[in-house]
Structure 1
């Protein structure tokens, strides 16, 4: 939200009161408390009729400092995100009056007197600061000429904002799943969950956390609407503003973007590991298509007969009767024996996913039950809040009520006990404001948090019923939502442009603390042409999680083939190639998921996260690393032309064995059965022997494919087994458990079997497929 008219003036109807000086500094409750009047006090008369800001600066965790700006403090403690408790640090007022807060390697300093200055430094270098005309309490007239807030959110009468300096050349990333450019500089970003598709400025997953390439990130600890002006209104600063009388934020320092993300996820939570079967191929009924058990069986038989691996089958909305979503009851007209059907799917070696949402249609028998018990959101007059957008007369489950949450969870539990393995938790964004929540929460602050409460409730039941195997497939989220994986990108269109915006959204989400991410292969709205579908297949099956799903048309691959299905560039062949490849890569991907759970490092890694020292790589948003070592550049054209950048080092194409020396830009052309897929030097890829599913004994027939580079020892974990792999420029030595595993040099036709294995490259490798047969 913009309040100023250029550099000097305010917009009509805007009254700004800026922190002008640090008038008094004191230590209280392990925090620095600063009295910051909104004018410089020179006489006693200056203290009259004067708004004053109270600024509290406190250590929170190593490298993390919390700041709270308050105008009037009588409103009590506001609803905030769930964060880890504070854990030490030091606070002091020095002899010259400077306030100093130290938390690990991050130091915050408040200079006494005027002008106002709060700076954050690490390693003797100032990272960012809040200076003149940065902190403000803003009062707005009813007709103030400011930008309108998001649709449906009324303009408030008062706001608090902070502005933190941007250094020259500093780039800003994150802020949730945003579908525009990965670098957020110059953008206005509204943190307000909305069901707006992937082709708009709205987003399903809004996270008020941004990460910079200058050694710090910022979490605005406000779960309601936060408006960011990222080098836009004030081009030298990032401004964030919230309605009300207070604002709280954390500054998080780090030597690299990875360390910032590690500290951020230590603060807000990390994703758990997901089960091995979830890494395989998911196939859906699609949304508004007609289907019954015979249709489902025909899809499964078609996949089997074409040797197309499949791990999960998903039932979208119409497993329930129309006009009754969500009632958790199978439509007996098309699924007369749901338990038997689910058992038959399990007999095929499949897991089953089912769609739900947190809305109860008026026609559902559950509606009256939930309304009578007080489980639905109510209007201030006590009536149940209802509307017809989505389902006729639907109400919204109130997850601030423990009783309502338990009631909803019991219906989910019944579904799981029938045989469902995973739940798609759709929707959760259009949460009304003209309601009263059971726990008295401010509806504006609960709007984004609702998604977190909804997904947490379902994930908890899955964790109880499927210990260690809990998977939701969620669309909406906010800060902390990474604790309940997996998330998918929402409603895209079936075009190359939408495929690209989908990737930007996923990379932005990865920089916001989310470890796993998926999207609808082929796009959701409309039916993709064969070229879009096949290019999206390669991209989708080289993402964290992979689901074929559409709106009004099926996504089984053979529907996109006009010619010979056996041809290498057919949709069936392309799907087989990349689905089997992903299953072979399962040991590698599962290890990347384990790292996400341990450190917050996402499975799909934007280039800025993987190569922070390379300024060319930082803004790139059409390529990424899948895990630590595989560089993927999806192809966004029918012709197969793609431009990509390879950072320094020797890169080996996984499918062809071609070796390329970086740093370099490349223009390549790929058939539908290929794309740029490069392995970085020094990598050791654990490759499984099975290509039909990801949940197998990966040690049985495992191959370690090593790509020698600089000297070093790399530890590779596969399940509970640990391999030590020592590489140099032309040789590799590996030790590991006894068993049927082998060692290969990437790009060379050499192999040796372990417990221990040693290989020396005797000649330049002959280009060819790197993967073992």
Structure 2
């Protein structure tokens, strides 16, 4: 939200009162409290009339400083609030006549005690950012609505990333962003997953701890500042020191939560009925038979909306005309080794038998006059479950338990963004602050019932809406996109941006959702989709089985599905890291290469885990330009090497794309290509890529529970590569072939070491 007309003047009808100086600084309980009047105090009479802001400075964990500013303390809603870790670490506080300072780890905040207002954040003797000169304040708009506002300085060359799922350019500079969940597809400025957290290339991140609408002006209202504002009388933000982007993400996710580890089977190929297509058990069986007959490994079958009766979403009951024997159908699918996912949402259509049941029990959101909130936007007379009510959550979970007991394995938790604000919540939560937060309660309810019935290691969602904390409940997908190359690119940008908010696992509709992709789009999207965290074939009005496009689509899908299965020892290791450290599996280039200025704006390629560079081909003719960081990289498809730093322009067939292995990597690949969940250590292959002379690389081959199945150390001494079992491998394992010789040629410095293990 913009408050100014240019740099000097306020917009018509807007009044701004900014912190002018720090007064009455108090140190207590490891924190600093500052009273900041909004005009200079030169005599006693200046203390009368006008706002005084209370600024509290504290630290919830080392290298993180919390700034909480309050105008009217009695007007701050108590709920909802994000769950934020608070370890109360030891801090250093210094107060003298000139300034007050609080230090946590390497991060220090200093507040000047004389006018004008100035609050500076620094680490390692280097200033990161500051609040100064009409930055921190309270605003009133022409309607007398109150907003709290802060502006933090942007240095020359400083770039801003994050703020959740955003489909435009990855760098946020120059953009206005409202953190407000909406259902708007992937082609506009609004998004399904909004996160009030950003990080910059200057070594810090900013988390605005406010669950409602937060408006960001990123070098847009004032080009040298990031402004954020929220309606109300309080504003809390946390400065998170890195210095690297990865360190910032580790600390942010330590504060707000890290992803649960999805089960290994969820990394295989998902096939959907699609949305409005006609289907029944015969259709489903034909798809499954068609995949098996064409040697296309399939892991999950997904039933979209019309598994239920029309007009009645959600009543959680199979349509008897289409699926007369759902228990038998599920049993037959599971006998073929498939998992089953069902589409659900948080709405109850008026025609559903559950409407009257939920309304009578008080489980549905109500208007201030006590009537049930309803509209006709999605389902006729739809109502919304009130997830702030423990009884409503249990009621909703009970319907899901019946499906889980029937044999369902996962739920696609669609929607959760179209949440009204003219309602009253059971727990009294502020409706504006609940708008985004609703998605967290909705997905948490489903996640918890899955964990209860399946166990914590077997939980996976396919969620569309999210806010802070939603990263704990994977997987998320990018939402409704067109079936074009442009939509493929915007989906990728959205996923990379979401990953910079701590979301470790992300997917998208292979081929696009709206419309029917032409075969070229479908085949290019297949390669991208199978080199993503999770991979799902899904569409709106047309099926997504590959043989309906052309026979080459079948071949491309087979090749990349099997490639992903072979890569699972490496990919699941990256998934374990995502759960342990908060680093996404699909990483924006600057996250892995923060010192490479050429990577700062890249948003059409990414790192898949730490060691694989993926550049999706976004054209029918196969021409692509992509950037290669420093070093000699090896093509995983087709062989050969590519040297960086520099740009490459190439042409690829549909069975190929730039997929490069990082120099110095040791890539673990598995012995199976028919499924994603198998014993990764049995017959594992270690490939060492341009390992430097004298270097040693530890490689952990994960077990399906996320623990280590085997740990190896691979070393190079001259032209000899050797591998040995390191600590962490279970006692019965032994190695058959533990060393080999590498050719001396620098162009072929790649050796395959096959490690067979036996009990």
Q: Say if 2:54 and 2:70, in contact at 8 Å, map to a contact too.
A: yes
CA distance in 1, matches of 2:198, 2:721: 41
CA distance in 2, matches of 1:101, 1:169: 28
**Residue 71 of structure 1 corresponds to which residue in structure 2?**
71
**Residue 706 of structure 2 corresponds to which residue in structure 1?**
none
CA distance in 1, matches of 2:719, 2:444: 50
Tell me how many residue pairs correspond in the alignment.
743
Decide which of 427, 433, 442 is 1:439's aligned counterpart: 427
**Residue 696 of structure 2 corresponds to which residue in structure 1?**
713
Q: Say if 1:519 and 1:547, in contact at 8 Å, map to a contact too.
A: yes
User: In structure 1, the residue corresponding to 2:34 is in which secondary structure?
Assistant: strand
Q: Which structure 1 residue ranges, 5 or more long, are not aligned?
A: 143-155, 743-752
Instruction: After TM superposition, give the deviation of residue 756 of structure 1 in Å.
Output: 2.3
- 1:27–1:81 distance in 2 versus 1, CA, 3 Å: same
**Residue 746 of structure 1 corresponds to which residue in structure 2?**
none
**Residue 472 of structure 1 corresponds to which residue in structure 2?**
461
**Residue 126 of structure 2 corresponds to which residue in structure 1?**
125
**Residue 372 of structure 2 corresponds to which residue in structure 1?**
384
**Residue 353 of structure 1 corresponds to which residue in structure 2?**
341
Decide which of 471, 485, 489 is 2:474's aligned counterpart: 485
CA distance in 2, matches of 1:597, 1:314: 25
Instruction: After TM superposition, give the deviation of residue 357 of structure 1 in Å.
Output: 0.3
CA distance in 2, matches of 1:489, 1:127: 33
**Residue 588 of structure 1 corresponds to which residue in structure 2?**
570
**Residue 88 of structure 2 corresponds to which residue in structure 1?**
87
User: In structure 2, the residue corresponding to 1:289 is in which secondary structure?
Assistant: coil
User: In structure 2, the residue corresponding to 1:539 is in which secondary structure?
Assistant: helix
C-alpha distance after superposition, 1:209-264 (max 9, x if no partner): 00111010000000000000001101100000000111011110012000000000
**Residue 31 of structure 2 corresponds to which residue in structure 1?**
31
Q: Say if 1:708 and 1:728, in contact at 8 Å, map to a contact too.
A: no
Q: Which moved further from structure 2: 62-71 or 77-86?
A: 77-86
Q: Does 1:608 align with 2:596?
A: no
Decide which of 238, 241, 245 is 2:233's aligned counterpart: 245
Written as runs of structure 1 = structure 2, the 5 A alignment for 1:218-367 is 218-367=206-355
Instruction: After TM superposition, give the deviation of residue 739 of structure 1 in Å.
Output: 12
**Residue 145 of structure 2 corresponds to which residue in structure 1?**
157
**Residue 22 of structure 2 corresponds to which residue in structure 1?**
22
Written as runs of structure 1 = structure 2, the 5 A alignment for 1:389-538 is 389-467=377-455, 468-538=457-527
Q: Say if 1:431 and 1:447, in contact at 8 Å, map to a contact too.
A: yes
- 1:262–1:304 distance in 2 versus 1, CA, 3 Å: same
Q: Say if 1:708 and 1:731, in contact at 8 Å, map to a contact too.
A: no
Written as runs of structure 1 = structure 2, the 5 A alignment for 1:538-577 is 538-561=527-550, 565=551, 570-577=552-559
Q: Say if 2:242 and 2:248, in contact at 8 Å, map to a contact too.
A: yes
Q: Say if 1:254 and 1:260, in contact at 8 Å, map to a contact too.
A: yes
User: In structure 2, the residue corresponding to 1:176 is in which secondary structure?
Assistant: coil
Q: Say if 1:19 and 1:134, in contact at 8 Å, map to a contact too.
A: yes
Q: Under a length normalisation based on structure 2, what TM-score does the superposition of the two structures give?
A: 0.96
Instruction: After TM superposition, give the deviation of residue 95 of structure 1 in Å.
Output: 2.7
Instruction: Tell me how large the CA RMSD over aligned residues is.
Output: 1.8
CA distance in 1, matches of 2:337, 2:182: 37
- 1:739–1:629 distance in 2 versus 1, CA, 3 Å: farther
Q: Does 1:666 align with 2:648?
A: yes
- 1:60–1:766 distance in 2 versus 1, CA, 3 Å: closer
User: In structure 2, the residue corresponding to 1:509 is in which secondary structure?
Assistant: helix
User: In structure 2, the residue corresponding to 1:612 is in which secondary structure?
Assistant: coil
CA distance in 1, matches of 2:721, 2:733: 15
C-alpha distance after superposition, 1:350-405 (max 9, x if no partner): 11111000000111111110000000000001000001100011110000000000
- 1:447–1:212 distance in 2 versus 1, CA, 3 Å: same
CA distance in 1, matches of 2:601, 2:502: 18
C-alpha distance after superposition, 1:546-591 (max 9, x if no partner): 0000000000000001xxx2xxxx1010101100000001111110
**Residue 732 of structure 1 corresponds to which residue in structure 2?**
721
CA distance in 2, matches of 1:77, 1:85: 20
CA distance in 2, matches of 1:112, 1:767: 61
C-alpha distance after superposition, 1:23-76 (max 9, x if no partner): 221113432111101111101111121211111111110111110111111124
Q: Does 1:112 align with 2:117?
A: no
User: In structure 2, the residue corresponding to 1:206 is in which secondary structure?
Assistant: coil
CA distance in 2, matches of 1:317, 1:113: 62
Q: Say if 1:60 and 1:89, in contact at 8 Å, map to a contact too.
A: no
C-alpha distance after superposition, 1:108-150 (max 9, x if no partner): 11111111011111111110110110001001112xxxxxxxx
Q: Say if 1:630 and 1:678, in contact at 8 Å, map to a contact too.
A: yes
